[in-house]
Chain A
Amino acid sequence: MKNISKNMFKYIENETTPEQAIKLGTEILVKNGFATPLLEKEIWKSIEKFGYYFVISPLIALAHTAPGNWALKPGASLIVFKEPIKFTKEERHNVRYLFTLSSPDSESHMSILMEVATKFRDKEFMELLNKTNNKEILEKLIFE
C-alpha cells in the first residue's frame, strides 16, 4: 500500500468493543501527527447522525467524519481484528478491517480512498485475507 504505511497498522487478537475499536483507530492517527484527539468524538457524532453507513462492504469499515481542525493531515490507519467487532446486532455491521480516516478537507485523502477501494474490493484478495489470522502474513499481503 502506498498511501498507508506499516506503522499505521495494528493487528488485534482480543475481542474489542466498538468504542475501543474507534479509540484504537484514532489513536494511531493522533500518535503519528495526522489528527487530534478530537477526531474520536467527531467520528461518533457522524455515527449518531448517519448510522453505521461507514461499513462499506462485508467486514470492511471506513470510519471518518466531516472536515475540521481535528484532522491535521490526510491519512489513514488500519486495524485488523481477529474477532470482528460487532457494531450492531446485525451481521452486516460486523467489522474485521477498520480503516480510520483523517480528512482535513473534502479531497486530499482521495488517493488513500482510491487505493483502499481498489485493493479491498478484489474478491480473491479478500478471500486470502479472511483465511488468515497470522499477523505477518496479513502484513505481507496488505503492504507488499
Chain B
Amino acid sequence: MKKICSICGNGLGSSLVIEMTINDALEDLEKQNEFEVTHTNLNSYSSDNDYDYIVCAQDLADQIDVSGKTKKIVLSNILDKETLVSKLEEM
C-alpha cells in the first residue's frame, strides 16, 4: 500500500479538506485501494517518514521538507480535484 498524507497547520481544517480531495482524486484514478490516506499537522510532521506522497497547500509548502522517496504535491486550490489527479498521474 502506498501512503499519502495531507498536512496543514492545525491538523483539523485544511488537512481534512485536502484528505477529501485526495480520496476523490484516487477514486477518479480508480486507485483508492492502492493508497492509505491520512492527515497530520505541521508539529507532528517529520521529513523522516515513509510517506510516498505528502500533499499541502501553497502557503505551507516552504515549511514542509521531504526526504528520500517522498514526493511533495503542492495545491494552490485544495478543493480542486482535477489538478490533483493530473499531478498524481504525472508522478
Report yes or no: A121 in contact with B11, Cβ–Cβ below 8 A: no
CA distance A47 to B20 in the complex (A): 23
Report yes or no: B10 in contact with A121, Cβ–Cβ below 8 A: no
Question: Which residues of chain B from 7 to 54 have a CB within 8 Å of any chain A CB?
Answer: 8-14, 16-17, 20-21, 42
Q: Mark B62-91, 1 if CB is under 8 A from A, else 0.
A: 010000000000001111110000000000
CA distance A51 to B58 in the complex (A): 10
Closest to B8 in A: A53
**Interface residue? A6 (CB, 8 A):** no
The size of the chain A interface, using a CB distance under 8 A, is 31
Q: Mark A59-102, 1 if CB is under 8 A from B, else 0.
A: 01010111100000000000000000000000010000000010
Report yes or no: A67 in contact with B9, Cβ–Cβ below 8 A: no
Report yes or no: A54 in contact with B14, Cβ–Cβ below 8 A: yes
**Interface residue? A36 (CB, 8 A):** no
CA distance A66 to B8 in the complex (A): 11
Report yes or no: B59 in contact with A62, Cβ–Cβ below 8 A: no
Closest to A51 in B: B59
Closest to A120 in B: B79
Report yes or no: A92 in contact with B10, Cβ–Cβ below 8 A: no
Closest to B18 in A: A56
Closest to A60 in B: B79
Closest to B17 in A: A117
**Interface residue? A52 (CB, 8 A):** yes
**Interface residue? A114 (CB, 8 A):** yes
Report yes or no: A56 in contact with B17, Cβ–Cβ below 8 A: yes
**Interface residue? A2 (CB, 8 A):** no
Q: How far is the CB of B40 from chain A (nearest CB, A)?
A: 11
CA distance A60 to B8 in the complex (A): 17
Report yes or no: B17 in contact with A113, Cβ–Cβ below 8 A: yes
